[in-house]
């Protein structure tokens, strides 16, 4: 499976295009294609062999050609050329916040470094300040950023690990030797990042399964194999644990290997209190040693006097007491979501037309969709200004007739300026159906200031939702330091909603902040932040966070049916 390698190639091209100060839309197109390939269930090389690369969302003929060359030769002449005589590894330097093309080239020219560790070493030895124009202050900042990069966890974002795990499970299920196969561990609990991939298999034909795994195209190396467990590395160096159990202990094993460890410990203590012994093999009566259950997971919970607990809640955060009291929440599901509140089209940095996004939304079973392109403030030349707003309204009016009763909401994703002001005029804002606001810049200011800034956006009359309030990018940028309680207070006072953004690198609000929001009576809103038709699938990740946050349909704005939503939007405008 070369998907990860191809995704990295496209990311490198995107980085290299920065060297050329290329148009932001070209850069975004490569990044978007990389993201889509990570989400792809099939093998990209297979698509290529069948001449179907351009059927992958976000891949046009030009990107397809570059992928083809890479799959054929293992290299990319285009990437080499973009790098201008610099080695591809040099692009690593561009990952350091604050290091743009000019500084990256300076650093490379001076030291021939490509490894971040080596650069950190140079900074420690105060060598960087020798370069003209890079004084001690820059050196210090570089050290700080490098240290932060070094602390990055190697955990995989759920949005990458989950589709991969589903793919492996479905390959296993295809084998006659396998009864059932399901992802377990943190993937099944939908934790935002994943340490390793766990897959549970029901079978009594171990040797066949081992052979099957050894033969999978995505297997790079089998690290260990005992009679109940096979650990292997994928081509992208992700670790996968396969556990093989007999069908009759499937439920107990699934419960055990789903975790979390803390949840399991608490559950076993409860079992002991009730005169049972619980293990991955089943649930046993202590006195008689007799096995009383374990075929299904529900059976395990029910024997302990509990309502079955959804995997997303199994974090020892009160779920066992709630299950004992019969007061578990009725968690939101994807089917409860009636529309998407955060998508981009080719009016700003998305790569599809509004009509294409609408058709995708209809295919997702939605009743409505808010088109929320960036406003001009982001410094994206093609953002929404007055002229484009008028054009968007006109187009949406026309499409609404065509797609009725489906409803397209004209929207915009506003920039919240450092002063807390919005970047479009009041008269213009009055013309939109749906308005969300985001902080995208100046995110390193102090907690006081950034909380105020977000709060003042919520207080703006026209704003309905504050987007991705935490501001983090998984493995890239920590969340802002901000005062959550204060923000929740403002959201509650104003009746506005906070977004749970499902984009796989954001996953923001995170689960514990969203749960706090619910407890404070703050409304949440779910958005995919799609930049292409395939991007709407990220709603699954937003729902995953919502479930981990114990949210019920009533806690989420976009579970409202269309008519009620329109009333809510009108009321907020008054």
Identify which of residues 127 and 193 has a Cβ nearer to ligand DGT in the complex: 193
Q: At residue 248, what are phi and psi to the nearest 5 degrees?
A: -70, -15
Quote the CA–CA distance of 447 and 82 in Å, as a whole number: 40
**Smallest distance from the beta carbon of 111 to Ca ion, in angstroms?**
39
Q: Which of 354, 370, 336, 396 is closest to 568 using CA atoms?
A: 370
**Smallest distance from the beta carbon of 418 to Zn ion, in angstroms?**
19
**Smallest distance from the beta carbon of 181 to Ca ion, in angstroms?**
15
Quote the CA–CA distance of 515 and 524 in Å, as a whole number: 10
Q: Which does 265 bind (CB under 5 to 8 A by kind): ligand DGT, Ca ion, Zn ion, none?
A: ligand DGT
Angle between helical axes of 3-19 and 61-73 (0-180°, round to 10): 120
Under the criterion CB under 6 A, does residue 456 sit at the interface with ligand DGT? no
β partners of residue 321: none
**Which are the contacts of 484, defined by CB distance < 8 A and separation ≥ 6?**
513, 516
Q: Which does 68 bind (CB under 5 to 8 A by kind): Ca ion, Zn ion, ligand DGT, none?
A: none
Residue whose Cβ sits closest to Ca ion? 185
Across 204-241, b (16+ Cβ under 10 Å) vs e yields ebbeebbebbeebebbeeeeebeeeebbbebbbebebb
State which of residues 185, 293, 469, 553 lies at the interface with ligand DGT (CB under 6 A): 185
Hey, what are 356's tokens? 């294409």
Quote the CA–CA distance of 385 and 261 in Å, as a whole number: 52
> By CB under 6 A, what part of segment 246-265 binds ligand DGT?
256-257, 259-261, 264-265
Angle between helical axes of 511-519 and 539-548 (0-180°, round to 10): 60
> By CB under 6 A, what part of segment 261-320 binds ligand DGT?
261, 264-265
Quote the CA–CA distance of 262 and 265 in Å, as a whole number: 5
Chain contacts with Ca ion (rule: CB under 5 A): 185-186, 196, 198, 241
Identify which of residues 107 and 187 has a Cβ nearer to ligand DGT in the complex: 187
Identify which of residues 66 and 344 has a Cβ nearer to Zn ion in the complex: 344
**Smallest distance from the beta carbon of 357 to Ca ion, in angstroms?**
35
Hey, what are 280's tokens? 């991955």
**Smallest distance from the beta carbon of 269 to Ca ion, in angstroms?**
23
> By CB under 5 A, what part of segment 374-433 binds Zn ion?
413
**Smallest distance from the beta carbon of 185 to Ca ion, in angstroms?**
3
Identify which of residues 267 and 498 has a Cβ nearer to ligand DGT in the complex: 267
Stretch that binds Zn ion, among 120-128, 216-224, 476-484, 527-535 (CB under 5 A): 527-535
Identify which of residues 299 and 413 has a Cβ nearer to Zn ion in the complex: 413
DSSP for 11-70, please give it.
HHHHHHHHHTT--HHHHHHHHHHHHHHHH-SS-HHHHHHTT-GGGSTT--HHHHHHHHHH
Site track 342-371 with Zn ion (rule: CB under 5 A), x = hit: ------------------------------
Q: 349, 380 in Cβ contact below 8 A?
A: yes
Q: Are strands 239-245 and 229-234 parallel, antiparallel or unpaired?
A: antiparallel
Residue whose Cβ sits closest to ligand DGT? 259
Quote the CA–CA distance of 471 and 482 in Å, as a whole number: 10
Under the criterion CB under 5 A, does residue 529 sit at the interface with Zn ion? yes
Stretch that binds ligand DGT, among 184-192, 214-222, 376-384, 505-513 (CB under 6 A): 184-192
Q: Which of 389, 447, 446, 439 is closest to 414 using CA atoms?
A: 439
Q: Which of 493, 496, 506, 564 is closest to 539 using CA atoms?
A: 506
**Smallest distance from the beta carbon of 39 to Ca ion, in angstroms?**
20
Identify which of residues 279 and 346 has a Cβ nearer to ligand DGT in the complex: 279
**Smallest distance from the beta carbon of 193 to ligand DGT, in angstroms?**
7
Under the criterion CB under 6 A, does residue 195 sit at the interface with ligand DGT? yes
Q: Which of 395, 382, 394, 341 is closest to 503 using CA atoms?
A: 341
**Smallest distance from the beta carbon of 505 to Ca ion, in angstroms?**
20
Under the criterion CB under 6 A, does residue 194 sit at the interface with ligand DGT? yes
Identify which of residues 189 and 515 has a Cβ nearer to Ca ion in the complex: 189
Quote the CA–CA distance of 475 and 349 in Å, as a whole number: 23
**Smallest distance from the beta carbon of 529 to Zn ion, in angstroms?**
5
Under the criterion CB under 6 A, does residue 196 sit at the interface with ligand DGT? yes
Q: Which does 529 bind (CB under 5 to 8 A by kind): Zn ion, ligand DGT, Ca ion, none?
A: Zn ion
**Smallest distance from the beta carbon of 276 to ligand DGT, in angstroms?**
16
How many residues bind Zn ion (CB under 5 A)? The answer is: 2
Longest dimension (CA), the chain: 80
How many residues bind ligand DGT (CB under 6 A)? The answer is: 14
β partners of residue 372: 411
Q: What residue ranges bind ligand DGT (CB under 6 A)?
A: 185-186, 191, 194-196, 198, 256-257, 259-261, 264-265
Q: What residue ranges bind Zn ion (CB under 5 A)?
A: 413, 529
């Amino acid at each position: 499976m070369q998907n990860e390698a191809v995704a990295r190639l496209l990311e490198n091209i995107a980085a290299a295009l920065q060297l050329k100060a290329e148009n932001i839309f070209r850069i975004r197109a490569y990044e978007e294609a990389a993201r889509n390939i990570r989400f792809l269930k099939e093998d990209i090389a297979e698509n290529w062999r069948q001449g179907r690369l351009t059927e992958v969302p976000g891949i046009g003929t030009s990107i397809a050609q570059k992928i083809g060359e890479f799959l054929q030769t293992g290299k990319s002449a285009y990437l080499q050329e973009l790098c201008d005589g610099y080695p591809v590894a040099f692009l690593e330097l561009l990952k350091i916040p604050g290091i743009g093309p000019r500084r990256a080239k300076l650093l490379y020219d001076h030291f021939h470094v490509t490894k971040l560790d080596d650069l950190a070493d140079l900074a420690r030895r105060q060598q960087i300040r020798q370069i003209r124009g890079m004084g001690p202050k820059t050196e210090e900042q570089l050290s700080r950023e490098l240290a932060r990069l070094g602390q990055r966890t190697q955990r995989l974002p759920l949005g990458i690990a989950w589709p991969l795990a589903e793919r492996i499970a479905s390959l296993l299920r295809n084998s006659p030797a396998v009864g059932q196969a399901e992802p377990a561990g943190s993937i099944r609990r939908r934790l935002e990042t994943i340490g390793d991939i766990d897959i549970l298999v029901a079978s009594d034909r171990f040797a066949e399964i081992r052979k099957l795994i050894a033969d999978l195209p995505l297997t790079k190396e089998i690290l260990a194999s005992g009679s109940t467990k096979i650990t292997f590395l994928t081509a992208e160096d992700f670790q996968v644990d396969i556990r093989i159990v007999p069908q009759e202990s499937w439920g107990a094993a699934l419960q055990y290997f789903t975790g979390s460890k803390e949840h399991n410990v608490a559950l076993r203590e409860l079992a002991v209190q009730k005169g049972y012994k619980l293990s991955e093999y089943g649930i046993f009566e202590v006195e008689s040693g007799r096995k009383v259950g374990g075929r299904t997971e529900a059976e395990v919970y029910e024997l302990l006097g509990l309502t079955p607990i959804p995997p997303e809640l199994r974090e020892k955060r009160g779920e066992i007491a709630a299950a004992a009291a019969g007061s578990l929440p009725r968690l939101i599901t994807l089917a409860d979501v009636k529309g998407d509140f955060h998508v981009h089209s080719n009016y700003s940095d998305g790569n599809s037309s509004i009509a294409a996004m609408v058709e995708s939304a209809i295919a997702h079973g939605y009743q409505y969709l808010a088109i929320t392109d960036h406003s001009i403030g982001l410094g994206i030349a093609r953002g929404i200004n007055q002229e484009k707003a008028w054009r968007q309204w006109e187009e949406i009016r026309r499409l609404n007739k065509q797609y009725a009763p489906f409803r397209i909401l004209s929207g915009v994703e506003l920039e919240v300026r450092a002063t807390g002001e919005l970047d479009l005029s009041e008269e213009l804002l009055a013309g939109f159906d749906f308005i969300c606001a985001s902080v995208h810049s100046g995110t390193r200011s102090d907690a006081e200031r950034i909380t105020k800034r977000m709060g003042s956006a919520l207080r703006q009359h026209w704003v309905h939702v504050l987007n991705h309030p935490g501001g983090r990018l998984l493995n890239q940028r920590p969340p802002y330091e901000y005062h959550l309680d204060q923000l929740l207070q403002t959201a509650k006072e104003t009746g506005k909603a906070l977004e749970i953004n499902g984009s796989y690198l954001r996953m923001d609000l995170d689960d514990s902040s969203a749960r706090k929001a619910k407890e404070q009576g703050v409304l949440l809103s779910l958005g995919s932040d799609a930049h292409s038709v395939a991007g709407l699938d990220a709603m699954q990740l937003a729902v995953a966070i919502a479930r981990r946050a114990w949210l019920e349909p009533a806690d989420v704005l976009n579970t409202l049916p269309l008519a009620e939503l329109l009333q809510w939007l009108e009321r907020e405008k008054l």
